[in-house]
Structure 1
Amino acid sequence: MFSLNITKNRKQFQLDVCFSALAEIVVLFGPSGSGKTTILNCIAGLEQPDSGEIRLDQQLFFADRHKPLPPQQRKVGYLFQDYALFPHMNVEKNIRYGLPRKDADLRSLLQVLRIEHLLASYPWQISGGEKQRVALARALATEPKLLLLDEPFSALDSETRKQCQDELLRYQQIWNIPFIIVTHDMDEAKKLGDTLIFLENGRIAAIEKKALAHE
């Protein structure tokens, strides 16, 4: 189980949020500047809250009067909005970047994501949907216990976006870990989210549970 209860002062507002997640998809929805990406960054350890607690199962990421757990020890995968693929590396090297074992067997992961045929290609040679799957493979290759996705489909055309949404639902069922997704798209939020969290000026305005969102 993942739980978060934090505050953080921003220039525009004070972030003050509290929520938890099981092995489900949680969608953070709200206008730009409402604190969505800040929440992801605090979970990943790229930013630190001013107070509160972040916990995944028995592991404490952050708590008052405790030293924050370093990002590399959090077992959190992070799919950035622009995918952050290295243009000078081929697909295989991008996926293996940062892995503790360079000879790790990724065959099953590549098969699930259907990108085995792309390993020798470079990012500029593949489509937007393929880049998204490569970035997802890199995030999942570390075997995370939690996956963060920041506007993962915003750069895709509508048809590719729909396909990637369908695939993401399939991936979550396979890996059975919490996914926390940021989006500005209400249709996407309703399609993907088991839990929808609506943010306004750093605070939770409403929470909707969609227990049958994947049915």
Structure 2
Amino acid sequence: MLSVTIHKRLQHFDLDVQFSVKDEIVVLFGPSGSGKTTILNNIAGLSHPDNGHIELNKRIFFMKKQKPLPVQKRRVGYLFQDYALFPHMTVEKNIYYGVGKKHSADHSETIRSIIEELGIEHLLSKYPKQISGGEKQRVALTRALATKPQLLLLDEPFSALDQATRLQCHEQLLSLHSKWNIPIILVTHNLEEAQKLGDRILFIERGKFIDSMEQTG
């Protein structure tokens, strides 16, 4: 269970949100500049609230007057909008970056399973500039999952993809979620995508939630 309360002064408005996420896909839906990515960055530890409380499975990420938990100790997978792959590293090295050299055989088997699930075995020796947008998305998702996260954050991960590739990646995400059963927060401004992927949709404008929608079926 992820519990989030964030109060943060931004340039044009105050970000003031409170929500929780079980083992489900929750979509943050709203226009650009409404605070969605800032929420993800605060959860991941890339930035911090001015006040609030962030906790995952009883581990405190942030609390006022307490040193924030470092990024590398949060066990959060983060898929950035631009994928943030290292151009000088092969796909394989990108995937294992952050896992560290001292990972178990069981961990290696998990990573191999994700690679097979997403069908990127043939890309391992290639560099990011040599693969397509859809392939980069799957590599970045594999890297985010390689650390065996307890929470997955996805920031507009499908926005740069063509329709056919986007639909394929939707199905892969739903399949992975059914197997991993961890909280996922997805940022998008595509309502059709939000309705297809989200168990719950939180609508945000200028730093505040204005509505929510529970998905059924």
Question: Same fold per TM (> 0.5)?
Answer: yes
Map of 1:181 onto structure 2: 186
Map of 1:74 onto structure 2: 74
Q: Separation in 2 of the partners of 1:21 and 1:60?
A: 15
Matched, 1:19 2:24: no
Task: Give the superposition deviation at 1:101.
Answer: 2.5
Map of 2:117 onto structure 1: 112
Matched, 1:141 2:146: yes
Map of 2:8 onto structure 1: 8
Q: Separation in 2 of the partners of 1:181 and 1:65?
A: 29
Q: Separation in 1 of the partners of 2:133 and 2:65?
A: 43
- Counterpart among 174, 185, 208 of residue 169 in structure 1: 174
Query: Partner amino acid for 1:100?
Result: G
CA RMSD of aligned residues (A): 1.1
Q: Separation in 2 of the partners of 1:163 and 1:49?
A: 35
- Counterpart among 207, 210, 213 of residue 208 in structure 1: 213
Task: Give the superposition deviation at 1:100.
Answer: 2.1
Map of 1:49 onto structure 2: 49
Decide which moves more: 31-40 or 120-129: 120-129
Task: Give the superposition deviation at 1:102.
Answer: 6.0
Map of 1:83 onto structure 2: 83
Question: Could you give the per-residue CA deviations for residues 26-63 of structure 1, whole angstroms, max 9, x where no partner exists?
Answer: 10000111100000000000010011100001100001
Identity %: 61
Contact residue 146 and residue 179 of structure 1 kept, 8 A: yes
Query: Partner amino acid for 1:199?
Result: I
Query: Partner amino acid for 1:18?
Result: Q
Contact residue 96 and residue 102 of structure 1 kept, 8 A: no
Map of 2:133 onto structure 1: 128
Unaligned runs of 5+ in 1: none
Unaligned runs of 5+ in 2: none
Residue correspondences, number: 212
Q: Separation in 1 of the partners of 2:211 and 2:35?
A: 14
Task: Give the superposition deviation at 1:211.
Answer: 3.7
Q: Report the TM-score, using the length of structure 2 for normalisation.
A: 0.95
Q: Report the TM-score, using the length of structure 1 for normalisation.
A: 0.96
